[in-house]
Amino acid sequence: MDRVPEQFHRPIRRPPAAFDNIVGAVDPAEQSRIAHATASALLDRARKDASGETTERLIAFAAEHGIDEIAELWAHSPARSLPGALWRLYLLQLAIRDDGATTALLYERGRVELRTADAVIAGAPAPASPEELVALVDTILRGVFQGDFAIALDRAAAYCRVQASGATHLADDYEASEPQRASDFTRRALRLSGYATDLSDSSAAWRIGALS
């Protein structure tokens, strides 16, 4: 189970040599500039395409090709930034597509246990199958590229809080019988909670024109 969260922090493979020539030799400030510029350009292009074709290609890209190229551009961006927010959204898409059963288990347990409106805000069915959670994350990404960006980030943050709650309760369940599995769930809960905070902060920054 810990395999997926470990992928959240680093690219899966080395980028091609041509990409090294563009990005690998630059300093951190230039790499940050490139990350912000590409995120802004992608978002702007998708929002200007009324047909929705660009949005659908952006949603499908990670599912078809992985997140290596995205990781090289955005993985090290600040949490409260446009590339940082987009990176976290693609990580959520990766998690549900890579291990739908565990993701759905965490979400359902969190939905039952969490006494907040987060499950309603996220917008998944109750209970939600892995396929329905894939659809939910894709819908959230469509909201980012075509709809209200802040609302999409709020939905993603709520989704993370529900899953974090589920992971926390499962960690408690396994504490006595399977301590290593409990530790895995605890780490995942902490990571998801952190993503929820990052996405909420990015949403608030977007609303006041401070997210770049």
Q: Encode pLDDT of 181-190 as tens digits.
A: 999 999 999 9
pLDDT tens by residue, the chain, 212 residues: 444 444 444 444 444 444 444 444 456 788 788 889 999 998 999 999 999 999 999 888 877 877 787 887 898 899 999 999 999 999 999 999 999 999 999 999 999 999 999 999 999 999 999 999 999 999 999 999 999 999 999 999 999 999 999 999 999 999 999 999 999 999 999 999 999 999 999 999 999 999 98
The domain limits of the chain are 3-207
Q: Do you find a cis peptide bond into 83, omega within 30 degrees of 0? A: no
Q: How far apart are CA 68 and CA 44, in angstroms?
A: 22
Note the pLDDT tens digit of each residue in 24-39: 445 678 878 888 999 9
User: Cα(26)–Cα(78) distance, rounded to whole angstroms?
Assistant: 18
Tell me if 198 sits within 8 A of 79, measured CB to CB.
yes
Q: Where are the alpha helices (DSSP H) in 51-178?
A: 53-65, 68-74, 82-98, 100-113, 118-122, 130-146, 149-174
| pTM of the complete model | 0.84
